Amino acid sequence: MRIAKKTSTITAFNRLSLLLAGAGLAAMAWAAEPAPKDTTASNPLGGKAAAPAVAKGTPGQPRQITWEELVPKDWDPAKEFKGMDLSALDDGDPRANELLMKMQEVSNNAPTNPAMNGTEIKIPGFIVPLEEAKGEVTEFLLVPYFGACIHTPPPPANQILHVIPQKGAKFRAMDTVWVTGKLQTQRNDSMMGVSGYHVSASSVTKYSGSAK
């Protein structure tokens, strides 16, 4: 594959890498800068391994989930791009921009997992602030890997949670937190990315490496 000089072509190549690997399973293929050490799909917080997800939560308690559970098992984001020869795209080829737009459409319309709708959940992630008041974040996106939506393009919609905390949270962009609350399959468009889920958060707490 030749080295493309046009940003659109490079971005298209990087985004296709993510789509081919599956939503959320190779998120760092989009990254322009290295992620925290040891970041993986099952450990998105980079070296801070979370406690294993609990299949069935304790009655009356939120269920700790992984980001993979938010993606429908039968979703294949690469289906529309199979068989494409990216090496055939020259620098400045208009098809590169068309491909990029198509990839963005697939990403923005990534389907959610209906089985998760209405579940009381607890999940770790990184904060992308949307609204702030008096030094507190009152609305934000939660994403699974460092830099998403800020330093790198947003992940698929089914890997972004739109969070409204009951109380303002004193956190900054890319802080790692636990978010607890009711998960809903609800789309929201923001200037930072399209989210497929909404969480009315009962609590937003500093990530400590465990669910407690």
Q: What is the pLDDT of residues 14-42, one digit of tens each?
A: 454 444 443 333 333 333 333 344 434 44
pLDDT tens string 152-209: 889 999 999 999 999 998 999 999 999 999 999 999 999 999 999 999 999 999 997 6
CA nearest 154: which of 113, 93, 109, 200?
A: 109
Distance between CA atoms of residues 23 and 122, nearest Å = 20
Distance between CA atoms of residues 202 and 89, nearest Å = 49
pLDDT the model gives residue 43: 52
Distance between CA atoms of residues 99 and 104, nearest Å = 9
**pTM for the model:** 0.73
pLDDT the model gives residue 56: 55
pLDDT tens string 70-99: 999 988 887 777 777 666 666 677 777 787
